[in-house]
A and B are shown apart, each in its own frame.
Chain A
Amino acid sequence: MPIYRYIIRRLLFIIPLLLGITVVSFVIANAVPADPINANLPQNALNDEELVAAFRAKWGLDKSPFEQYLVYMGNLLQGDMGVSIKTNNPVVEDIRQFLPATMELATYSIVVGLIMGIGFGVISAIWRNSIIDYFVRFFALIGVSFPVFLLALIALTVFHGELGWAAGPGRLSILTRDPPGITGWFTIDALLTGQFETFQDAFSHLILPSIVLGSYVSGIIARITRSSLLEQLGSDYIRTARSKGLYETSIIFKHGLSNALIPVVTMIGLLYGNLLAGAVLTESIFNWPGIGRYAFRASTSQDFPAIMGVSMLIAFIYVMVNFLVDLLYFFLDPRIRAS
């Protein structure tokens, strides 16, 4: 079918999905048992009835959950996600401050993961069931088998602490100034404004955490690549190509791999969403000021505007990335276009 029809069809389904996301986020945010009043108002204020009432009114706590939801949605459509109870900043501001850091890390991690994963997968498929295959699969599994925060700490201690090969925790060295906030991605912003030293610093700080997170996803990517490539290599059109006398490498890479990568592309969306939130564990160890750490602090302090904002945001990003991936899929897989 033509592409615009495909887009419209997908979009039509996304809208109720997004609505559902807001509802679920709202439920999540209100699932915490205790009254935010007591958690966020200091002692003296608690005794003042007017103040308590004012606090309730300000955060809409005096209304029924349904009304609160409607108020929230009304504000949301105007771009207002409320104010974080903990930081006293608009949630939109907080997200603007913390999200780019995680997105930058997640993107670099996916790239690393893809490189490592596809590499491992191809090697594993070509030398299937040989020693190399087992070795590579074992190696790829290490990233997925140990708890990621443990790997992160080991990596930090060994490669930074002991060997001094990698940069330390944080996005930049402590004495380096943040580049001007254009996109929020330090590497891009530094390049755009010609701050090459800052770029170097930011990049070197990204290496270790993205390798740790990347090896986490490379395991899954490797497995999919391997099985997908094996499937392709065993299929008819490959046999035809072989019988035509084409070189083996050309067969593998030009024909087999491009088809084999389709499922990998599908996974990217899923993985990206998981990386965004799962980064909370790695962000703690690497002192990365991202949305994962923010989400964790919000959830443990019943900061429901923040909880809601973050939940919605991550789910939203996941849906959008999947949508883009589906679009990409549309171009890659002729079968869909034909339907």
Chain B
Amino acid sequence: MQQHRIKFSLLLTMILLLVLSSISIAQEERVLVIGHAEITESYDVAHAFNPTSGIVHRAAYDTLVSFPDTDASSIEPSLASSWTVSDDGLVYTFTLRDDVTFSNGDPLTADDVVFSFTRLSNVLSNPSFLADPIASIEAVDDLTVAITLTATRPSFLAEMVNSAFSIMNDSEVIAAGGTMAEDAAETDAARDFFDQNSAGTGPYILESWTPQEETVLVRNENYWGEDVPYFDRIIIVNISESATQKVALESGEIDIATDLAPDQVSTMQDNSDLAIYTTLDRWTHFLLMNRDPEIGGPVADPLVARAIRLALDYEGYTQLWEGSITPGSNMWVGIQGALSPAQIMVRDLDTARALLEEAGYPDGFEIELSYPDLTWNGVNLSTNAQKIQADLAEIGIVVSLRPGEVQVSLEEYRTGQQGFAYWFWGPDILDPVDFLSFLPGGKVAEERTNWFTDDVDPDILALIEQAGTETDPQIRQVVFEELQLWAQENGAYAPFNVPTIQTAVRSDIEGYIWHPSWTLDVTLLSRAE
């Protein structure tokens, strides 16, 4: 009996200890869980260029300059406390703050900036093209950086905000195998380091990343700034199905669901546990009509392109996607200088048919529409494609749909092989110059649409040149307006919808703001106590 009693009390003690220890293990940590369809393949600033990495980089890194929390209306100092521009507009000199340290304690110096930007350019990865306008960069002294451009570029400061220009700690990255040398594309070995670490100045550090499962950010204990964020730990969970994100949010397992469709959130409005944020997204959905007759066939003809623009039922798309608006051009509607709602295209079937006849297709024609088969930020491209099919059928154009896997379709699109295609575009730069990509000589025009400067009206070409370098805001406004209106008549594209992005959030989460540049700044979030 004595033995049994001893054993029994031992057991009891063990159980007690176990219980006590598990209580003490439970921390008072403030954790935020975000449900998000992860689409990044890396967290290396010089490689990743997508909304997922945007969120993470905004939290772990800083750039020289930034936008306000709510929009892209002005440029604000960030790591650079001030800057000057040379008279010829080619040299930007930034003065860095003297109180900034990286997450490992190293102080920020001009060398870090030089390293970061040069590496970005030399690794020849997805975002590297953003560094193309930079001719050279040098560290004038420990806290001063001078960047010389290849040509004047009024959008340059806005471009500097892009997370590709995040400043990383050069010594840490070099120690991990990174390099900014000319042959960095082959010799840089730091990519793996970045998948599990961050070397930035932001309020958070990247603790770990299990690809396709979760990304974990934790508070940077060495943060130099005064505005300390609320959450100690942020977990970004990969949930690829929006239907599953919805279930997880409603049951409280995640605090934020980033990839919901307008139709899904409309049924969540009455749920008092949730708050819905809807705002205009940064993507313009458009049709592309290849100017090469061999590839585009009938749509290579500008008259046909215009007919197609006139045949789309713009209002219908705004009914399909609640809250979406019709754009006037391929310039994102949130950029200062985009056409106003009064200037958008309106459906006109009669003129459309007349144009088709003039172009030599009185009975219409058949054509294939290529597009990537995916749902982007809640917009199912197949749905739009089907409506395009129905819209164009009304003027005699018989469209057969050709959805493709993203990568396959993307490859064709990028190399200009798609004759008639449906894609979406988000501005690389939140400045009107982004629109130049869609004009003769621009990136999308030349590489993807085979639309060259050859037969274009010289006046327009001059206008395009001016648009790229003009600094006077009034004149810019006029120039870009004219170009956009010209595109409505003669362009090779049919932008038809700018949808909304909807995020659903548990109602005790405060501070949620969607931003066109970095999507979500987690440092602004907190939970009501």
Q: Write the nearest CB–CB distance from B29 to chain A, whole angstroms.
A: 9
Interface residues of B: mostly helix, strand, loop or mixed?
mixed
Give Cα A302 to B185, complex, Å: 23
Among A156, A174, A197, A300, residue most surrounded by chain B Cβ atoms (within 10 Å) = A174
Is A34 within 8 A of B124, CB to CB?
no
Contact (A174, B237) CB under 8 Å given A38-B411, A156-B247: yes
**Nearest Cβ distance between residue A45 and chain B, in whole angstroms?**
4
B128 touches A42 (CB 8 A): yes
Q: Mark A115-135, 1 if CB is under 8 A from B, else 0.
A: 000000000000000000000
B400-408, B458-466, B477-485, B519-527 - interface stretch: B400-408
Instruction: Write out the residue numbers on chain B whose beta carbons fall within 8 Å of the beta carbon of A287.
Output: 238-241, 244, 248
**Contact residues in B for A175 (Cβ distance below 8 Å):** 31, 33, 235
Proximity string of chain B (11-49) to chain A, C-beta cutoff 8 Å, 1 when within and 0 when not:
000000000001000000001010000000110000000
A86 at interface (Cβ–Cβ under 8 A)? yes
Complex Cα spacing A157 to B267, Å? 14
A44 in contact with B129 (CB, 8 Å):
yes
**Interface size class, chain B:** 35 or more
- Whether A219 is near chain B, meaning CB under 8 Å from some CB there, is no
Report chain A residues within 8 Å CB of B253.
168-169, 173-174
Interface string of B213-241 (1 = CB under 8 A from A): 11000000000000000000001011111
A44 touches B124 (CB 8 A): yes
User: When each residue 139-154 of chain A gets 1 if its CB lies under 8 Å from chain B and 0 otherwise, what string results?
Assistant: 0000000000000010
A35 at the interface (CB under 8 A from B): yes
A170 at the binding interface (Cβ < 8 Å): yes
Closest chain-A Cβ to B221's Cβ sits at a distance in Å of 21
Q: Check A301 for interface membership: any CB of B closer than 8 A.
A: yes
A45 and B247 within 8 A (CB): no
CB contact under 8 A between A300 and B406, given known A43-B414, A88-B41, A287-B239: yes
Within the complex, what minimum Cβ distance (angstroms) separates B517 from chain A?
20
- What total of chain A residues lie within 8 Å of the partner, measured CB to CB? 43
Q: Which residues of B contact A161 (CB under 8 A)?
A: 247, 250-251
Counted as pairs of residues, one from A and one from B, with CB atoms less than 8 Å apart, the total is 106
Determine the chain B residues whose CB is within 8 A of the CB of A54 once the complex forms. Answer: 186
User: In the complex, which residues of chain A have a beta carbon less than 8 angstroms from the beta carbon of B405?
Assistant: 300-302
**Does A236 belong to the interface (CB within 8 Å)?**
no
Known: A88-B42, A161-B251. A174 touches B235 (CB 8 A): yes
> In the bound complex, what is the Cα–Cα distance between A155 and B238 (angstroms)?
21
Whether the pair B411, A39 counts as a contact (CB closer than 8 A) is yes
Contacts of B235 in A (CB 8 A): 174-175
Q: What per-residue 1/0 map shows which CB atoms of A160-196 lie under 8 Å from chain B?
A: 1100100011100111000000000000000000000
Given A44-B129, A293-B212, verify A153-B243 contact (CB < 8 Å).
yes
- Given contacts A42-B126, A174-B237, whether A289 and B243 have CB atoms under 8 Å apart is no
The reply to whether the CB of B73 lies closer than 8 angstroms to some CB of chain A is no
**Given A87-B41, A174-B253, also A168-B408 (CB < 8 A):** no
Judged by a CB distance under 8 angstroms, whether B293 is at the interface is no
A54 and B187 alpha carbons, distance in the complex (Å): 12
Give the residues from 252 to 307 in chain A that come closer than 8 angstroms, CB to CB, to chain B.
284-287, 289, 293-294, 297, 300-302
Q: B412: CB under 8 A from chain A? A: yes
Report the minimum CB–CB distance from A66 to chain B (whole Å): 25
Residue of A nearest to B18 (CB): A196
A residues less than 8 Å from B247 (CB atoms): 156-157, 160-161, 168-169
A51 touches B411 (CB 8 A): no
**Cα-based distance from A43 to B410 in the complex (angstroms):** 11
Minimum-distance CB pairs A-B, first 7 = A38-B411, A42-B126, A39-B407, A300-B405, A45-B124, A301-B407, A44-B124
Ordered by A's residue number, 24 sampled pairs between the chains whose C-beta atoms are within 8 Å are: A33-B408, A34-B407, A38-B414, A39-B410, A42-B124, A42-B126, A43-B126, A44-B125, A44-B129, A97-B210, A153-B244, A168-B247, A168-B253, A169-B248, A169-B253, A174-B33, A174-B253, A175-B31, A175-B33, A287-B238, A287-B240, A289-B212, A294-B212, A300-B407
Write the residues of chain B forming the contact surface with A, with a CB cutoff of 8 angstroms. Answer: 22, 31, 33, 41-42, 124-126, 128-129, 185-186, 191-192, 210-214, 235, 237-241, 243-244, 247-248, 250-251, 253-254, 405-408, 410-412, 414-415
